[in-house]
Structure 1
Amino acid sequence: MTTSAETSPPEMHHAHRDVTGGWLRPATFGVMDGLVSNLALVAGVVGGGAGGHTVVVTGLAGLVAGACSMATGEFTSVSSQNELTQKEIAVERRELEVHPQEELAELTRTFEARGVRPELAAKVARDLSADDEVVWRVHVREELGVDPDDLPSPRVAAGSSFVAFAVGALIPLLPFLLGAASVLPALAVGAIALVGTGALTARLTSRPLWYGGSRQLVLGGLSAAVTYGVGLLVGVGLS
C-alpha cells in the first residue's frame, strides 16, 4: 500500500533567483557604465574649463549616445549568441537523426562520466532517447551547457541596458541641472552613487557590501581623476 508521503511531490525548502533572464548583467553593467562614463565625462570637460551650460549639454549628449550604444550592443550581442546557439542546436538535432546509435552511446558516456553506474547510465540514456523532443534538449544541455527553452531575450537585454545606463548617467548631471557651478557636488553625488550601486551589486551576488561599494568607488574615482587630468592638460594647452 502506498502512503501519502510516497506519492506526494517533494517539498521545496528554497527558491532560486532568475539568473538566465538576460536582464541582470546588462542592467548592472549599464548603470555602472553610465555612472562612471558620465562622471568621468563631466570631470573631463570641467577640467578643460567648460562652464555649466556646456557641461549639461555634453553630459546629456553622453547620456543619450551611451544609452543608445549600450542598447544596440546588447541587442546585437544577445541576438548573435542566440543565433549561434540555434545553429548548434540544429547540428545536434541533425546528428540525432543521422547517427542515433552514436548519439545514444555519447549520452551514455556522459552519464557515466557524472558517476552513474554503466548499466543505469545506458538505461537512462535509452529512456530519454525514446522521445525525440526530450532527447535533443538533453543533448543540448549536456553538450552546449544551455537551456534551449530559456535563452536570454535580446529585447530585455537592450531595454535593461538602455534604462540602466540612462539612470546612471543622469546622476552626475543632477547637480549641474540644479544650478551647481563647480564639479564638487557632482563628484560627491557620484561617489555616493558609486558606493550605493557597488553595494547593491554585491548584495545581489552575495558578496560583502563594503567590498562592492569600495571597489566601485575606487574604480570610478580613478576614471574621473584620469579624465579630469586629461581635460585639464588639454584645456591648458588650448588656452
Structure 2
Amino acid sequence: MDGLVSNFALIAGVAGGRADQEVVVLAGLAGLAAGAFSMAAGEYISVASQAELAEAEIEVERSELARHPRAEQAELARLYEARGLEPELAAEVARQLSRDPEEALRVHAEAELGVSPDDLPSPLLAAGSSFLSFAVGAFLPVLPYLLGAQSLWPAALIAAAGLFLAGAVVSKITARSWWFGGLRQFAFGGVAALITFAVGSLIGTSGL
C-alpha cells in the first residue's frame, strides 16, 4: 500500500503538471526505485538494530546465568509461581530447566526479554520483503503508461482498484468489514493523489 499510494501520488503530481508520457514514466520508475531502496535500507537498519539489541541483552543474561546460577534459578522459580504453579513444583521445574545452560538461557530470554535466541529477526529478509512489496505496489500505476496510456485515468483506475483490494485484504485480520477497510484505504490514497495532482497543476500553470 505504501508503494502504491506514494508512487501514484508522485505520478499524479507529475501528470498534473502537464508532463508528457515519457516524463511520467521516468518519474514513476524513479519513484519506484528510490522508494523501494529507501524502504529496504530503513527496514534493514531497523531490524538489524533490534536484533543487535536483543543479542546484547541475551549476552547479559548469559553472563548472569554463568555468574549467579542459583539466583537465576530462584528467579525462574518465582516466575513460574507468578504464573500459577505451586512453589514446590515451580522450584522443581526451574531446577530441571537450569540443568542445561542453553535451555535455561532460552527460557530466561523468552520470559524476561520476550525474545528467543534461536529466532531473532533477519534484517536481510525484512529488507527483501520490504523492497519487493513496495516495488510491486509502486509498479501498478506505472504499468498503464508502459503499455501506451496517454492520460492519468488508466493509472488512476488501477491504483483505485489496488488500494481498495489491499485495504479489504488487511481488514481480514482486523475487526472491520472488508468494504470499510477497502474504502478507507481508497480514501486516503485518493486524497494523497488529489493533493499532489493539484500541486503539480499549480506548478505547471505557473511555469516554474
TM-score range, shorter chain: over 0.9
Q: Is 1:143 aligned with 2:112?
A: yes
Given candidates 161, 166, 171, the residue that maps to 2:130 is 161
After TM superposition, the score normalised by the length of structure 2 is: 0.93
C-alpha spacing 1:151/1:211, structure 2 compared with 1 (3 Å): farther
Q: CA deviation at 1:235?
A: 2.4
Deviation (angstroms), 1:211: 3.0
Query: What is the correspondence of 1:1-239 to structure 2 with a 5 Å cutoff?
Result: 32-203=1-172, 205=173, 207=175, 208-238=177-207
What amino acid sits opposite 2:115 in the alignment?
Answer: V
- Paired amino acid for 1:141: E
* Gapped regions of structure 1 (runs ≥ 5): 1-31
Cα deviation, residue 153, structure 1: 1.5
State how far apart, in whole Å, the 2-side matches of 1:156 and 1:126 are: 37
Identity %: 57
TM-score, normalised relative to structure 1: 0.81
Offset of residue 200 of structure 1: 2.3
CA distance in 2, matches of 1:214, 1:170: 21
Range with bigger deviation, 225-234 or 137-146: 225-234
C-alpha distance in 2 between matches for 1:129 and 1:97: 11
Question: 4+ residue runs of structure 1 moved beyond 3 angstroms?
Answer: none
- After the TM superposition, which of the residue ranges 39-48 and 97-106 deviates more from structure 2? 97-106
CA distance in 1, matches of 2:89, 2:200: 68
Alignment size in residue pairs? 207
Q: CA RMSD in A?
A: 1.5
SS in 2 for 1:126: helix
Pair 169,144 (structure 1): closer, same or farther in 2 beyond 3 Å = same
Structure 1 residue 139: deviation in Å?
0.3
Q: What are structure 2's unaligned runs of at least 5 residues?
A: none
- Aligned to 2:141, the other structure's residue is in SS state helix
User: What is the distance in 1 between the residues matched to 2:198 and 2:133?
Assistant: 27
The amino acid of 1:160's aligned partner reads S
State the 1:118 CA deviation: 1.9
